[in-house]
C-alpha cells in the first residue's frame, strides 16, 4: 500500500464508511461466550512522511475460541467484500500447530482486517489503517469518532489486557 497515493481516503472516512461494517462482522464472531482476552486499545497515531501528516488507526485485538475458519472467512467476506475488500489467505504450520491467517485489504482506505487462527487453540482478530490523510471533518484527527459497538456491550473495560 502506497501511503501517499492521492486516492487514499481519510482516517475519518474510514471510520464513517468502513468501520461500522467491520465492527458488525467482528461482533458476530467475537461474543461474550467465546471471548478469551484482548491486547492493546484503540488508537489513531499521527506521523510525518514526506512533509505530510498521515494517520494510522489501530483497533484492539480480540482473542476468542472460534476455530471454524470457514465461519470466520464467510462472516467477514459477507460484510467486507461488498465494500471493496480483497481476501488473502495463508496457511502454515509452526511448532506442530496449523495456523490460518486471513487478511482483507481495501487499498482505497489503506485498511486491513486480520484474523489468525491457531487451530485447536484460539483465534485473534483486529483491524487497522496506515498512511491516511485527514479530511478536516474533525478538529483532531487523532480523536476517534464515536462508534456504536466498537467496544461491545459485554466487554468489561476493567479487564487487564493479555
Run means of pLDDT, 10 residues per run, the chain, 162 residues: 68 98 98 96 96 97 97 98 98 95 98 97 98 96 96 92 84
Provide the pLDDT for residue 5.
47
Provide the pLDDT for residue 7.
85
- Report residue 46 as a C-alpha cell: 499521527
Handedness of CA 7, 8, 12, 16 (dihedral sign): positive
Cβ atoms of residues 12 and 134 within 8 Å: yes
State the Cα–Cα distance between residues 151 and 37, nearest whole angstrom.
13
Cβ atoms of residues 116 and 124 within 8 Å: yes
Provide the pLDDT for residue 2.
47
Beta bridge partners of 139: none
Provide the pLDDT for residue 6.
58
Handedness of CA 13, 130, 154, 143 (dihedral sign): negative
State the Cα–Cα distance between residues 81 and 121, nearest whole angstrom.
27
- Its pTM stands at 0.93
Provide the pLDDT for residue 161.
87
Amino acid at each position: 500500500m502506497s501511503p501517499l497515493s492521492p486516492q487514499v481516503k481519510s482516517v475519518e472516512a474510514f471510520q464513517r464508511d468502513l468501520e461500522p461494517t467491520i465492527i458488525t462482522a467482528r461482533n458476530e464472531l467475537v461474543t461474550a461466550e467465546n471471548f478469551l482476552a484482548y491486547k492493546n486499545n484503540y488508537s489513531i497515531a499521527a506521523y510525518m512522511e514526506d512533509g505530510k501528516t498521515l494517520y494510522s488507526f489501530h483497533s484492539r485485538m480480540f482473542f476468542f475460541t472460534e476455530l471454524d475458519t470457514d465461519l470466520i472467512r464467510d462472516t467477514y467476506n459477507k460484510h467486507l467484500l461488498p465494500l471493496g475488500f480483497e481476501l488473502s489467505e495463508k496457511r502454515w504450520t509452526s511448532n506442530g500447530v496449523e495456523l490460518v491467517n486471513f487478511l482483507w485489504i481495501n487499498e482505497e482506505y489503506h485498511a486491513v482486517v486480520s484474523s489468525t487462527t491457531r487451530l485447536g487453540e484460539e483465534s485473534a482478530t483486529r483491524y487497522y489503517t496506515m498512511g491516511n490523510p485527514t479530511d478536516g471533518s474533525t478538529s483532531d484527527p487523532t480523536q476517534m469518532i464515536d462508534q456504536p459497538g466498537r467496544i461491545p456491550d459485554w466487554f468489561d473495560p476493567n479487564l487487564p489486557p493479555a
